[in-house]
A and B are shown apart, each in its own frame.
Chain A
Amino acid sequence: MNNIHARSLKAALLILPAFLLSFLLANPASAQYEEGKALFTGNCASCHKPDKKVVGPALMGSREKWEKRVGKEALYSWVKNSQGYIEETGDPYAVALLAEYNGSVMSANAISNEEIDLIFAYIDNYTPPPPPPGKDEVSTNAGNDGPDNTWLWLILIFVVLFIIGNVLLGVRKALNRINREKEGKEPLPESSVIESILEYLSANKRITALLVILVLGWGASVGWDALLGVGVYEGYAPEQPIKFSHKIHAGQNGINCVYCHHSAEKGKHSGIPSVNVCMNCHTGIQEGAQYGKTEIAKIHDAAGYDAEAGKYRLDEDGNRIQKPIEWVRIHNLPDFAYFNHSQHVIVGKQECQTCHGEVEEYDYPMKQHAPLTMGWCINCHRETNIDMTNGYYQDMKPDFLEKYSDMEDESFKVEHIGGLECAKCHY
């Protein structure tokens, strides 16, 4: 009964957004709505929400307010460069607004008036997404998404089979004995299971040999795999001090990877974001969908932020009382291997997902997707084309063509520029 009820609720929940979506699609403005949404997510969403105060104010209705108050042009200049606007006009409302939000200045935006219109069109027509699934739902889903129970079942089956087998053997023995008793023969000497197996094996030498070979072969194969796996931590997913979910941040909220891992485009490390990057959003967002306040409170604790008072805690000297977060490192490339993120992200134009998997789908804890072995690196270097449109390679193209004149097409791989050489990564 309960089950049926839950299922129908789920169906309803699935259908509802579909309805809404079809309604929106039917609406001639919906294309604009989508465009505005994209612009909003790209430029504003890290600090604003249409219907909620976050780092900055809720934006719903603000266009109307501004247009009424000071006019459309003022709004444009305010959005494009709020500091400049204040300096230019000294608008008391804007100054008050800045003060209300603890002086967190909105960075200047390089967007056009049309784009601003699109954003506000989205904001004003904003419909909140369906609420997250309730507690009911979670409990019903537990069966599907819970831990894998296959092994438990297998063991259970094995135990049951073992008992049945033993019982049947006992029955067979008893019947045999009764039979012999009936025929007036002497009862067979009692022999244990092991003794009988050994007896069987010694009687059937070929099967024994085959079994031994099979067991040895299996052992060697397992041993070999185990040795290959020494130091390979594919799938490594340690517990972290904060239950951070990439799914929520990169997946649901669509935050760009390099917003947090910004040095991936600049240097060798992708960089674990410093706490102040977290605080860009989490000054405002103090409650999460999954763990409520507990996990976000850990960020505040590290940053020395008093969420209640909306202020940073300071010591006697006026420094923030803060401490670093000790994340557990997941991707451990050995020290003797040099790897540079920017080389792969900027020059090689690789997606983060190529090596890290569908991170936007990973909930807590984050895991290592690739084996990070040298073979894995080399393989990619053999298969990946270099971007010949890059000015650096353009300049070298004549040399390449001459050097690899036997190649049928011009698809030069990383290996052709020495990507398999030792000293490209080991120095």
Chain B
Amino acid sequence: MSTTKKYWRSLEHLNEEPEFMAKAHNEFTEHVPVDEFLDKTSLDDTATSRRDFLKFLGFTTAAAALASCETPVMRSIPYVNKPEEITPGVANYYASTFADGNDYAAILVKAREGRPIMIEGNKNSGVTMGGVNARVNSSVLSLYDSKRIQKPMKGGAASTWTEVDAEIMQKLDQLASSGGQVRLLSNSILSPSTNELIREFGAKFGGAPAAAEGEDAAAPTGDSNFKHVTYDAISNAGIINANEADFGKAVIPSYAFDKAKVIVSLGADFLGTWLSDIEYSVQYAKNRKPDGPWMSKHYQFESTMSLAGSNADVRGVVKPSEQGIVAAMLYNAVASKTGNPTVQTGSIGNDDNNLKEKISKAAEGLLANKGQSLVVAGSNDTHVQTLVNAINNALGNIGTTVDLDTPLYLKRSNDNAVAELLEEMKSGQVDAVMIYGGDPAYSMPKDWNFAGAMAKVKTKISFATKLDDTAKACDYVCPDSHFLESWNDANPKAGAYSTAQPVISNLYDTRQAQESMLKWMGKMPDFHKYMQQTWEQYGYQMVKEQVPTFTEYWNGAIHDGVSQIPVSTKGEYAFNGDVNRAAKAVNAIKGGEWELELYVKTSMGDGSQASNPWLQELPDPVSKVVWDNYITMNPKDMEGTYETRTAQETPADMATVTVGEDSVTLPVVAIPGQKRGTIGIALGYGKATVDEKVVGANVFPMVAYNGVSKTLQYARYNVSVAAAGQKYPIASTQTHHTMMGRKIVNETNLETFKSVDAKDPKIGWNQDIRIKDSYHQERSTQELNLWDDFGIEKGHRWGMSIDLNTCTGCSACVTACHSENNVPVVGKDEVRRTRTMSWLRIDRYFSSDADITGPRHGHGASGRDYEKMEDPSEYPDVAFQPVMCQHCNHAPCETVCPVAATTHSEEGMNQMAYNRCVGTRYCANNCPFKVRRFNWFNYSGYHKFKGFNPAQDELGRMVLNPDVTVRSRGVMEKCSLCVQRIQAGKLEAKKQGTPVKDGSIQTACSSACPTNAISFGDLNDKDSMARSRAKSDRSYALLEEIGVQPNIYYMTKVRNRTIAEDAQPVHHGHGHEEETESENA
């Protein structure tokens, strides 16, 4: 049986507000001002008379006729010396590495004629395993950012390398001889060669040799006059500190989400932004399939709805101040059964979400899976992490799912060292500071007064790529090159190495930071050479026996991009943590009426790519809002004070959040699932400007430094929230389409899945939709055809199967599609007019078990009674569903096109010929899935889109895929199923003279998906993965009842719950039979 959940796309929809419902039936929710445009007065007002109009017409016709007479002369300029590996028209792939201090991914860069145009995952990587996230695959656009610093700068003015180098070298040499203090403040550097270089640099300019190694490289070094301090905007120092205290190893361990049968996450968004999120997504998805031998059970306790939280089987909400108490309660529940001492716990103030029960259930699950479970926490509070360590230790997870032997080297920020550095700077002890990576002036807490500290330093050198706040405060800016222009290597976790190679020459007069350092050290500024030396010195020594020459080893390493060295150390880790002290510390935290969580957004990360328009226009997975950050609030909390936005034309109410002396005024957005009494604001905004306007507001200054835990704290426990009385237009992508009360996201629970037949006509959880034909015979929609069938079982039939169980909503597919298909960026204003252009969108549905409009069938208990027990709209389940053109075999769009611009292919695709399209938009009207996009403007030319549409920028244009047409105004477009890739794949097969092998063709979305939720293939190929998935029990088609027979299939979402668990909050433990009845009602 499927559940009775009713999905709704906004609160107005749920409440069925008449205004909304009236609009929901229209294609365009906003009023199209045709009358205004065509009425008599406005025509009378125009300066153009009929005669003028005819004159213009005549002139343009004549001009057009004249223009067409002449052959346009085009030049074809071949290479003078063609590089051997480049063939015009054929893409090259280079293995490389993305590492910006915040994210890591082993990638493949697709380059056409020497221009990088697309980033995909490197499947050979042992860490990211071919996955990418939206921030990684969008980074190719950041390369072509014309706002990058294009020249070295001195004192805020453009300078030359010769001048800058000479002055810096003179100053550094002078400091070295006089014993001056030099500091390097960088974000987490993954590159072993760079770390080696920094050590050498320190030795040269700091006097004493700095002897830090491996994971300790992040720690300040020795008594040297040179110190390297690591600072990340998003710090995870709490984990490192706790591990040092508890296990004697100051590292972030490797987590194995794929080995954990029960996962409990305390506010860690491990699918979206926490630590190595790509790696965890891949691991997580492995055992989230109900058809596998086992399916993991995921509990999430958090305050703001995160990506991980929206994927959880059981989600409990908790205030940030009480997160430690949850950890303590969980510890007690586990400790009492494992013979460990229990601790004192505080109490949960307002448990409106069965939190206690959920915790005890989670503990039961953990105890039943000792050594095969995992508890993680997102908090940066050392004490919370200690409690988590204690739980994992009690469960015997250390060494199984928590691997301290293979530490993760990402995000090794040392908050305490940064605080000390700032003190040092403020006291005037630091003579020179170099800032490499990150933008501390933007991202440091206000309390730290970075600007004040900088003012006391005599020489300030920045390696910034953009003229950010930090670079502006520096004397010298020596712009670093983009990672696609640089040599580099990375060591994301012990034993895993990867390399980065330049795919394009420097676009500007920049120099990669390492080469600047080499230059100042008086060495050859050639980091390629330097890197080779370190690889020869370390890596090659290990494989000398097998590989005869270093060149061969080096070429192999660069070609593959990734290499793995077995980690041999096997440490014994005894838990020495002080749980009582930790418990006392977390119990002592005082909450307030309002609590603020500063969270990291999936699309924006730490804000280093804030000027990337692809990321700005990528809808937040949960709120679906673009181009802004905002205050997330539970709709129940908004009642009476703030309007929940009803539609696009209604601006959101703004509120002022005050923390201590700081305040920020932002729009309020209703997010069901937000813990009541808490709000969330995303970090990473308030940095980039578009059209001279700053996007969002920067809330990094509100981050607090916790002196007890010696870490940065991303939650504020007592804030005041007050209506600001202002309105603000906010743009979100999900109010365009209505799919009401139908089988859209089909969902069931694991117990039902295992025990009930999918197609059981009464209680099946994936029943065929049957409707009555004109003879009143009930028949399946497959049999009811208005049209003749295409010969779809012959030849190829391209299609997809999308597994809603493993789709985490991460949105990597959306940006991949933008990148592959030249999808324009339209800007906030157009999104507000419901004119977003994404070919692939991810629909997010909140669920509600209650039917709040009236009593249910056959039961005494009315929906309103249930509402009293637990208001479902407060803390709903979430489901994500990627929707692109469904490539219907009976496509409704094809039959209404008056010019046959959209037609069906022999291979099952619905194709769109732009040049044939005259723009009637009938097809969009007739599309039941609302996936067709109309080009209202010439986005690549019209001035409105200048500044953010990459196609308008001389350089940004270089990112366009030359195999895909850039559409012009007045034509319809939509997902083509990456027909250019299909054609290329078929051509390759034909050249080889072999059939197309399953998996050899991947669409942009399926290749980007870290969890393989999207599987593309030939549905007629007996061996294809897509076919076997499309034929499975879980498979169904979207809106089956309308009989359009899509070639895209979805797989039923199965949450790992029992029937009782699923039903419990609804019916006080009633059986499931009743539910089925109401389902059919």
Contact = CB atoms under 8 A, between A and B. Distances in A.
Contacts of B992: 391-392
A231 B913 CA distance: 20
A329 B76 contact: yes
B73 A328 contact: yes
Contacts of B993: 390-392
B397 to A, nearest CB: 50
Interface string A246-289: 00000000000000001100111101111111000000000000
B914 A426 contact: yes
A271 B987 contact: no
Nearest to A266: B87
Given A391-B994, A417-B906, 8 more contacts: A271-B88, A272-B76, A274-B81, A277-B82, A342-B991, A343-B990, A400-B794, A427-B979
A54 B980 CA distance: 45
A323 B81 CA distance: 10
Interface string A303-344: 100000000000000001011111111001001101010110
A400 B791 CA distance: 11
A421 interface: yes
Nearest to B1020: A399
Interface in B970-1004: 976, 979-980, 983, 986-987, 989-996
Q: Tell me the interface secondary structure of chain B in the complex.
A: loop
A301 to B, nearest CB: 11
Interface residues of A, number: 56
A423 B75 contact: no
Contact of B964 (A273, A322, A392, A427): A427
A323 B80 contact: yes
Interface string A403-427: 1000000000000011001111011
B995 A391 contact: yes
A230 interface: yes
A169 interface: no
A392 B78 contact: no
Interface string B74-90: 11111111100001111
Contact of B791 (A231, A263, A274, A403): A403
Contacts of A269: 88-89
Contacts of A417: 795, 906
B916 interface: yes
A91 interface: no
B88 A392 contact: no
A303 B77 contact: no
A238 interface: yes
B555 interface: no
Nearest to A236: B71
A302 interface: yes
Contact of B74 (A267, A275, A332, A426): A332
B994 A324 contact: no
Contacts of B196: none
A402 B791 CA distance: 10
Contacts of B71: 233, 236, 238
B579 interface: no
B970 to A, nearest CB: 14
Contacts of A302: 80
Contacts of B994: 391-392, 395
Q: How many of chain B's residues touch chain A, expressed as a range? A: 35 or more
Contacts of A303: 80
Interface in B1060-1081: none
A421 B82 contact: no
A342 B989 CA distance: 12
B81 A275 contact: yes
A275 B989 CA distance: 32
Contacts of A322: 80-81
A263 B89 CA distance: 8
A276 B82 contact: yes
A253 B503 CA distance: 39
B964 A403 contact: no
Contacts, number: 154
A107 B153 CA distance: 50
B75 A427 contact: no
B546 interface: no
Contact of B78 (A324, A336, A346, A395): A324
A399 to B, nearest CB: 4
Contact of A276 (B80, B979, B991): B80
A417 B79 CA distance: 37
Interface string A325-369: 111110010011010101100110000000000000000000000
21 contacts: A238-B71, A267-B88, A269-B88, A271-B78, A274-B82, A276-B80, A323-B80, A327-B75, A335-B965, A336-B965, A338-B980, A338-B983, A342-B991, A390-B990, A391-B995, A393-B990, A395-B994, A421-B906, A422-B901, A423-B909, A426-B914
A396 interface: yes
Contact of B80 (A274, A346, A390, A400): A274
A231 B64 CA distance: 12
Nearest to A393: B990
A396 B796 CA distance: 9
B1024 interface: no
A388 to B, nearest CB: 12
Given A326-B77, A426-B914, A392 B989 contact: yes
Interface string A229-243: 011010010100000
A391 to B, nearest CB: 4
B77 A324 contact: yes
Contacts of B964: 427
A77 B148 CA distance: 57
A287 to B, nearest CB: 22
B767 interface: no
Interface string B944-970: 000000000000000000011100000
B996 to A, nearest CB: 7
Contacts of B74: 328-329, 332
A346 B991 contact: yes
B387 to A, nearest CB: 55
B77 A327 contact: yes
Contacts of A402: 794
A325 B906 contact: no
Most-contacted residue by chain A among B74, B914, B916 (CB, 10 A): B74
A126 to B, nearest CB: 33
Nearest to B967: A336
Contacts of A275: 78-81
Contacts of A272: 76, 78
B911 interface: yes
B981 to A, nearest CB: 10
Contacts of B777: none
Contacts of B935: none
Nearest to A330: B76
Nearest to B968: A336
Contacts of B983: 338, 340, 424, 427
A276 B82 CA distance: 7
B76 A327 contact: yes
A233 B74 CA distance: 13
Contacts of A320: 80-81
Contact of A418 (B906, B912, B914, B916): B906
Contact of B905 (A266, A271, A324, A418): A418
A273 B73 contact: no
A366 B983 CA distance: 31
B965 A427 contact: yes
Nearest to B987: A343
B794 A399 contact: yes
Most buried by A among B78, B82, B914, B980: B78
B905 A423 contact: yes
Contacts of B830: none
A324 B80 contact: yes
B451 to A, nearest CB: 43
Nearest to B72: A332
A423 B979 contact: yes
